[in-house]
Amino acid sequence: MSFKHLPLLGTAEIIGALNLNPQQTSAAAAFAHQLARTAWRRRAPHRSGQGYDEFAAGVPDCAWLTLFEFGALKALGRHHEALLLAAASRSAHRRGRTADG
């Protein structure tokens, strides 16, 4: 799987921290890109002219790393931890939007 949009330093840190093998690393990267593509397909109508690469380039590094770590935890069979990470990420995102608004 491509690491084109994944921030390499942060990705490497997650790989090392979770001790991922090449297959798990590939699965995590594929999962991150799959979720990003799903978000791209579901984007707002006013952004419908935007291609995937343009959309992916606009995804913040922290979001890419969260997607990658979620996929890595799932590849390791640590589904509960992956769900906790997703819940914490959603909560932080909602708080961030509320504070900005």
pTM of the model: 0.85
Q: What is the pLDDT along the chain (101 residues), one digit of tens a residue?
A: 567 889 999 999 999 999 999 999 999 999 999 999 999 998 877 667 888 898 899 999 999 999 999 999 999 999 999 999 999 988 887 766 665 55
* Contact by Cβ (8 Å): 36, 56: yes
Instruction: Report the candidate in 75, 67, 3 with the shortest Cα–Cα distance to residue 40.
Output: 67
Here the tokens at position 78 are 């640590």
Spell out the domain ranges in the chain: 8-100
Neighbours of 68 (CB within 10 A): 25
